[in-house]
Amino acid sequence: MACWRPSTSASPFRRRTSSGCVKRRIGASCRAEAVAKVMMYEHAFPKAKEIFSAEEPKYLYHYTNANAFISICDKRQLWSGRPDQMNDFKEQLHAIEEISRLVSTAHRKAGNAGDAVLQNFCERVSQELDIERLRPKMPQFVISLSRDGDLLSQWRAYCPRSGGYSLAIPFDVLKGLADLQEFHLSRCLYDPDEVDEVLSEVLYSYYETYQDEYSKAANYDVAYVAVRDSMLDMFAFYSTFIKHEGFSEENEWRLALLKRADFDMDRMRVVGGEDGIRAFYTLDLDHDNFPSAVPRAFGFHAIIGPNVRPAAARYPAEVAFEKLVGEGNAAVFNTSTTYR
């Protein structure tokens, strides 16, 4: 059965050219603080903002297994996981390698040009580019999504045979929920040129500040202290959204929790498994920004992955989905793909 588908200045660092829960309510002051923190990351670097803001989809899809799908609908929550307990840990290493490459290139060019200030800056930055130093600064919890809800590679990666589901949430609803709960929603970058532009902008912006501070104090240590913490925070943040171009088919987007401490323990979850205890942090769907009774026309839908009994799988999925969107509003469809 076919799946229903909804309508839908030069930097020295650049390598290339161009369930019946009561809704959570957040007070106005907390809401303003959360939104301000999100905007800080979005607007700090104009080129990065332009790149990350491109191509906002109508829906984002969350792939998951049967038990997790039931839990999402029943508890009305998405659970964000820790990158160091997921494959995302290796992806963070890839981002750090990209930053290291840019710094090495800039250091070599500075040496050729006899630019001692740039050389010193690059040497100091390169000493910081270690996963153990940057990990505490990285987002501690993330949720993986895709702009494509029916990808065979995603069914294979995230869902067991005869047990996979793809939950579609309208982008605008998800973005509003994210902003109010201190999550940052962004697409991932796969294109090497885009990665270069973002990381170069961050690096070069901090180098300009480093130059200014050095011109005032004539002291490399003083100049580096002025930029270090903020710069590493930004590298750690953007590392969460940089992936190898070989995985571009995923079309991944991510929700990343901005806070790194002082977690709300009421939103913390722990479960046991083959790898021991795993920690999660909730993104609540029972919230001011989530419609209490979601009409079918609003666009929420779910797709059932490759299944040995596709016709029989729809009714129980609709029953589970109604816990989230309301009775009679469960739009559930079967995948158009099959396992080979």
pLDDT one-digit tens code per residue, 75-98: 999 999 998 887 656 777 889 999
Q: CA 211, CA 223: separation in Å to the nearest integer?
A: 7
Residues 6+ apart with CB under 8 A from 245: 190, 191, 192
The DSSP bridge partners found for residue 164 are: 65
Angle of CA points 130, 134, 139, to nearest 5°: 145
pLDDT of residue 288: 62
Task: Look up residue 292 and give its amino acid.
Answer: S
pLDDT of residue 106: 96
Q: CA 336, CA 33: separation in Å to the nearest integer?
A: 43
Q: CA 34, CA 259: separation in Å to the nearest integer?
A: 10
pLDDT of residue 24: 43
pLDDT of residue 69: 95
Contact 195, 242 (CB under 8 A): yes
Q: CA 59, CA 260: separation in Å to the nearest integer?
A: 28
- Structure token pair of residue 292: 């209490």
pLDDT of residue 309: 86
- Residues with pLDDT less than 50, the chain: 1-28, 31
